[in-house]
Structure 1
Amino acid sequence: MKILDADQTRAHLDFGRLVPALRKAFAGEATVPTRHVHTVEAGSDRGTVLIMPAWSEAGYLGIKTINIFPGNSARGLPGLHATYVLYDAHTGVPLAQLDGNEITAWRTAAASALGASFLARSDARRLLVLGTGRIARLLPAAHASVRGIDEVVVWNHRPEGAEALAAQWRAEGWNAQAAIDLEPAVRGADIVTCATLATSPLVKGGWLAPGSHLDLIGSFTPQMREADPSCFAGARTFVDTEEALGKAGDLLDAMAAGTLRADSVVSFTALCRGAHPGRTDEHERTVFKAVGSALEDLTAATLVWEGA
């Protein structure tokens, strides 16, 4: 079995290939069982373990184990750690162990961009990123692969983190700045993308401009939420997987509040297969909610394996 570390995994991932690969994967056929979710309690520490399998007609089987510990930020550690094992789907023979953190970050950012390719206005150029973690750092490049992003703003609950990331992006050539006040930053954005582990809503519906696109890719449990229920009122809502309706605190709150109906939510599969057009005019608001799909992991891992 080949072992690919973070650098080797990252070397075979780019949004120019990954975003179209995800679109093709969601339009195709694959088996994606419901993920296993377990709560870990170790003394006063709390975490979540996800086990996510998937296999496809291309002949690959993948299983990701991902550990999420929000308290790690106080220790100076990432909140997410993952491993990914790719197998031959015909024989079960292990092919490779890949860096699960890189797989998760890249496929999540790519899914965010794929959603924007259907849902953000064609002229969207101002991107607001909430969060400064591994996934957040990739979002300008991901969205620039599908829209003409020329201005990036970052907000974080720790202002020094936002300032540091904005400086890093400027060094990479982005027109980037940090926002201290979240409300005006949201009001001025064409695309608002949230990549946090928040448990209380950060974005309010009254802040979102007509024609804006809200991208929620951080929360993935009923206890987590990045947007309040008013964000869904009058907006078209889309999800990466139908599991989101039972897993995402944002959606559960909105359905309980009556600002979202489950039967009005559209899946990635419908978008990628052309069964739904996505955005229909320049003035409507759109929301994309992702909780992560093992199909996304398998797609990214397959690109890495075939590239390596």
Structure 2
Amino acid sequence: MDRDDTTLRVLSTSDLAGLDISLTDVVDTVEQAYRTLAAGRSDNPRKLTVKPADGHSVAYAMLGRDGDRDVVATKTSYKHGLRESRDRQHYYTTLTLYDDVTGLPVAMMDCSRVGSLRTPAVSALLARECAAPGASTALLIGTGTQGRLALPFLLTTLPALDRLLLSGTHPDGVAAVHAELARHFPGRDVEVVGDLRTAAKEADVVVATAGAHTTAAVEADWLGPDATTILVGHGLAPSTLHRADRVVATSEAQMRVTGTDLADADGALPPVDLELPAVLSGASEVRTADGQRVFAYNSGLVVTDIALGHRFAQLAAAQGLGTEVALWR
């Protein structure tokens, strides 16, 4: 079917699962999205959120424009059963892209793989920019979706890391972390640790990706003097933020909306020193002195989903993947 203004390429979970994309390609795509945003050529409005009073579900809607790719997109996310175990939850996320040069639709896709790659790529960029010189040991907390690719992405941006530690309690998740590391970096291994406090003290970089029900909570006084902590999900106590010497966020506005569990007794969060787009643009440096502890907050920006989703759409189109739907006829 010829592409026109009535047809839309729909990319399913299975379509996207078959696409081969390197970790370096993902990191470069995400980094370029941040740089374009920092240059003022992209738009990333604040997300909209709806949640019922009893908290059993949450839904988000995000609109953005990538000025480098000339693509406009909307992303939606809906999770039901927040108080249930992970296997009883329902989660759907979609991304719909439009070419802002031709005015034609590009694709609508399941956004789960985009998110599963984008988030650890952002953590890896934060680690690269925030870690102290000579950082050699990384600790990963959590073995869920966001944890399983965290170490391969960290090694992509910080190849000098020579010791990898893992704190996780689910055997299948631990096995998945090992498998992903072996797939991307054959010969590298990760040590599963039982004493989180000791592991945190030894780590130069701590990436916390655990789920909401975790009992792990690294405290500030467990950390070394130059440590970098990166929060994606859970696994860090609020003290790591409040006692940090420098605070970095992908977006301060989003941190103040989604990071309320880190607030102090007065409900306050400390100011953010830098946002990641400005850091990547070269406008500012994270570390201003030796011995600084850095806290970084990783929350998604839709411009990164747009860039990576568009990259997937390009790869899919080249391989003839997806289903053309006459949606507007």
* AA partner of residue 18 (structure 1): V
Identify which range, 247-256 or 109-118, moves more after superposition: 247-256
1:2 aligned to which of 5, 9, 15:
9
Aligned counterparts of 1:250 and 1:15: Cα–Cα separation in 2: 32
Alpha-carbon distance, 1:139 to partner: 0.6
> How many residues are treated as equivalent by the alignment?
298
Alpha-carbon distance, 1:8 to partner: 3.9
Aligned counterparts of 1:102 and 1:72: Cα–Cα separation in 2: 24
Q: Residues 54-102 of structure 1: CA distance to partner in whole angstroms, max 9, x if unpaired?
A: 1122321111112235648725257753221111234653211223111
Alpha-carbon distance, 1:159 to partner: 4.4
1:88 aligned to which of 84, 90, 99:
99
* AA partner of residue 70 (structure 2): G
Name the TM-score, length of structure 2 as normaliser. 0.79
Alpha-carbon distance, 1:255 to partner: 9.1
Aligned counterparts of 1:230 and 1:112: Cα–Cα separation in 2: 16
1:153 aligned to which of 157, 165, 178:
165
| Alignment check: 8 A CA contact 2:241 2:262 kept | no
**Secondary structure of 1:288's partner?**
strand
Q: Residues 132-190 of structure 1: CA distance to partner in whole angstroms, max 9, x if unpaired?
A: 1111111111111110233322223x343554335435654331132223212211212
Q: Residues 189-239 of structure 1: CA distance to partner in whole angstroms, max 9, x if unpaired?
A: 1211011332787221111111111011126xxxxx843234431421101
1:173-252 alignment to 2 at 5 Å? Answer: 173=186, 174-198=188-212, 202-218=217-233, 226-249=236-259
Structure 2 residue 298 is the aligned partner of structure 1 residue 283: no
Alpha-carbon distance, 1:3 to partner: 2.5
1:56 and 1:162, CA in 2 relative to 1: closer, same or farther beyond 3 A? closer
Aligned counterparts of 2:194 and 2:206: Cα–Cα separation in 1: 15
**Secondary structure of 2:149's partner?**
helix
* AA partner of residue 191 (structure 1): V
**Secondary structure of 2:263's partner?**
helix
Alpha-carbon distance, 1:294 to partner: 0.5
* AA partner of residue 37 (structure 1): T
Aligned counterparts of 2:279 and 2:182: Cα–Cα separation in 1: 36
Structure 2 partner of 1:46: 56
Structure 2 residue 33 is the aligned partner of structure 1 residue 25: yes
Structure 2 residue 44 is the aligned partner of structure 1 residue 35: no
Unpaired segments of 5 or more residues in structure 2?
Answer: 1-7, 317-329
**Secondary structure of 2:206's partner?**
strand
* AA partner of residue 154 (structure 1): L
1:93 and 1:171, CA in 2 relative to 1: closer, same or farther beyond 3 A? same
Q: Which runs of 4+ in 1 moved over 6 A?
A: none
1:234 and 1:179, CA in 2 relative to 1: closer, same or farther beyond 3 A? same
Unpaired segments of 5 or more residues in structure 1?
Answer: 220-224
**Secondary structure of 1:210's partner?**
coil
Aligned counterparts of 2:240 and 2:45: Cα–Cα separation in 1: 32
Aligned counterparts of 2:139 and 2:81: Cα–Cα separation in 1: 22
| Alignment check: 8 A CA contact 1:159 1:180 kept | no
2:129 aligned to which of 113, 118, 138:
118
Structure 2 residue 146 is the aligned partner of structure 1 residue 135: yes
| Alignment check: 8 A CA contact 1:72 1:79 kept | no
Q: CA RMSD in A?
A: 2.9
| Alignment check: 8 A CA contact 1:216 1:288 kept | yes
1:214 and 1:230, CA in 2 relative to 1: closer, same or farther beyond 3 A? closer
Identify which range, 81-90 or 193-202, moves more after superposition: 193-202
* AA partner of residue 202 (structure 2): G
